[in-house]
Amino acid sequence: MIYKHQKYIKRVISKTLHVVTVLLLFAGCSDETEDLSLGQLPSADFQAVVAEGSNTVQLINTTSTPTIAYWTVENTGQTFRGDTATIRLTFEGTYDVTLLVAGKGGTSTITKQVTIAQNDPTACSPDRPLGFIAGCTEKVWRLNPEAGAFKVGEGPDNGNWWSSGAGDVQARACEFNDEFTFRFDAQGTFVYDNKGDLFADGYLGTGSTACEPASNLTGDQAAWGSGTFSFSVIEGAGINGLGQLRLNGRGAHIGVKKAHNGGETPGGPVGNSVTYDILAMEQNVNGEGYDILKIGVNIGGPGWWTFTLRSY
């Protein structure tokens, strides 16, 4: 009898604890609902301050409620985060600047126009990445005809996984003749000319390891053919702080076609842009009148493709 009585007491205590727990949960939910109220949707707003005769713009988030600010500048490849941002706009004209703010009540955006009265007189200086890449009119680049012109490995400018050799300059002549032209204009014109051929590299065209007609690029791979695209230079960005080169347009690329930000996709382009970190810019190499541009793209994890270009 004592044993049965003990079991009964245990059941009563268990049920009582269960009821108390449920009541506490309901009470907690009520308080939590009040605490998690989203509140009012933020109303994004900002000021854009352009000093007279300047190409530099200061953006200031003036949203009345606490928010996190994200900025996008139309057609420049420039994006920023923070309540203030300083941007430099090279060419005269009117630009759309969009502010997206995220706050307790959700997100809100606003777009305003910023007008620049004159071209930046220093932009085409070879000491600045845009001027180095495009000159003051246009500049033509090809893969540097030496060993190591393109390589892949653990980290930028590292070819410990694979690197082109001196013999590849001839064996892959249809790759080393490709031309990449950058024009110094407000549109940021980038022209890719494959000269009518390509190195199939085991995944392009018929999948051979030889030169093939460019017409063998079909389906999604056809976007990797010759064409006119656009580009932008993001100063001060990149792993070495030298800037980044962004190619815009489906199929725009430099070097190995399958390489893109975050991976390799042999079947065709992924996304509508590829961003390369500028790794080195060398002027008048060995006094011979040509420049060297080294760029890299992280394909995920430690993997980086590096391409070395020579001006012509």
Task: Dump pLDDT digits (tens) for 145-166.
Answer: 999 999 999 999 999 999 999 9
- What's the number of domains the chain is made of? 2
20 domain residue, yes or no: no
Cβ atoms of 56 and 87 within 8 Å: the answer is yes
Token pair recorded at residue 186? 């407000």
pLDDT for 226-276, tens place per residue?
Answer: 999 999 999 899 999 999 999 999 999 999 999 999 999 999 999 999 999
Token pair 């939590």 is found at 32
Q: Is residue 10 part of a domain?
A: no
CB neighbour list of residue 57: distance below 8 Å, 6 or more residues apart: 48, 49, 50, 86, 87, 88, 89, 97, 114, 116
| Structural domain of 51 | 46-116
Write down the pTM of the prediction.
0.77
For position 105, which CATH number holds?
2.60.40.10
Instruction: Evaluate whether 232 touches 246 at the Cβ level (below 8 Å).
Output: yes
Same domain, 100 and 142: no
Q: Are residues 66 and 209 in the same domain?
A: no
Cβ–Cβ contacts within 10 Å for residue 241, how many? 10
Compute the distance between CA of residue 187 and CA of residue 91 in angstroms, rounded to an integer. 9
Residue 252 maps to a domain: yes
The answer to whether residue 14 is domain-embedded is no
What is the CB-side half-sphere exposure of residue 54 using CA atoms within 13 A?
A: 11
**Are 251 and 207 members of one domain?**
yes
Same domain, 101 and 234: no
Encode the chain (312 residues) as per-residue pLDDT tens digits: 333 333 433 443 344 334 334 333 334 444 444 444 567 899 999 999 998 888 999 999 999 999 999 999 987 768 899 999 999 899 999 999 999 999 988 999 999 999 999 999 899 999 999 999 999 999 999 999 999 999 999 999 999 999 999 999 999 999 999 999 999 998 999 999 999 999 999 999 999 999 999 999 999 999 999 999 999 999 899 999 999 999 999 999 999 999 999 999 999 999 999 999 999 999 999 999 999 999 999 999 999 999 999 999
Does residue 59 fall inside a structural domain? yes
The residue to which tokens 């009117």 are assigned: 94
**259 lies in the same domain as 212:** yes
Q: Last residue of some domain: 116, 145, 172?
A: 116
Q: Choose one of 87, 116, 145: the last residue of a domain.
A: 116
Same domain, 307 and 197: yes
Residue 121: how many CB atoms within 10 A of its CB?
8
Same domain, 72 and 152: no
81 and 195 within one domain: no
**Does a structural domain hold residue 242?**
yes
Where is the domain boundary, 91, 116, 141?
A: 116
Residues 167 and 306 in one domain: yes
Same domain for 153 and 266?
Answer: yes
104 with 163, same domain? no
Is residue 80 domain-resident?
yes
One domain for residues 93 and 156: no
Q: Establish if 290 belongs to a structural domain.
A: yes
Angle of CA points 312, 181, 79, to nearest 5°: 130
